[in-house]
């Protein structure tokens, strides 16, 4: 789950790099993984080596974009619609 959240952030930041002028853009991520949010906000240490590699990718992309980026925790029970859409997409993809 945490690796999937990191992968989503990496994909979104990578996509932003393909766009044109982003000078007026502010990026807000709303994630249901409290661990990932706290790691990305620098509040928790990253002990897991694979997660360390993912956060390094995120930090490199953040620097390349040079935009204001926030990470906010949204508990899954308050995020039913997004959770349902993700499950539909995963089902359609055969996961």
Give yes or no for a contact between 64 and 27, defined as CB atoms under 8 angstroms apart. no
Provide the pLDDT for residue 94: 79
pLDDT of residue 69: 97
Name the residue with tokens 């055969």.
Answer: 94
Q: Closest by alpha carbon to 66, among 36, 3, 23?
A: 23
Q: How do residues 46-85 score in pLDDT, each as one tens digit?
A: 888 999 999 999 999 999 999 999 999 998 788 777 777 7
Angstrom distance (rounded) from CA 1 to CA 58: 16
The pLDDT of residue 54 is 95
| Model confidence at 89: pLDDT above 80 | no
Per-residue pLDDT at 88? 82
The confidence score (pLDDT) of residue 86 equals 73
């Amino acid at each position: 789950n945490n690796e999937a959240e990191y992968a989503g952030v990496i994909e979104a930041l990578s996509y932003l790099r393909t766009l044109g002028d982003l000078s007026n853009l502010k990026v807000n991520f709303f994630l249901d993984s409290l661990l990932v949010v706290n790691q990305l906000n620098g509040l928790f240490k990253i002990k897991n080596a694979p997660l360390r590699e993912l956060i390094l990718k995120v930090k490199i992309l953040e620097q390349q974009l040079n935009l204001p980026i926030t990470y906010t925790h949204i508990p899954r029970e308050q995020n039913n619609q997004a959770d349902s859409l993700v499950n539909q997409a995963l089902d359609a993809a055969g996961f």
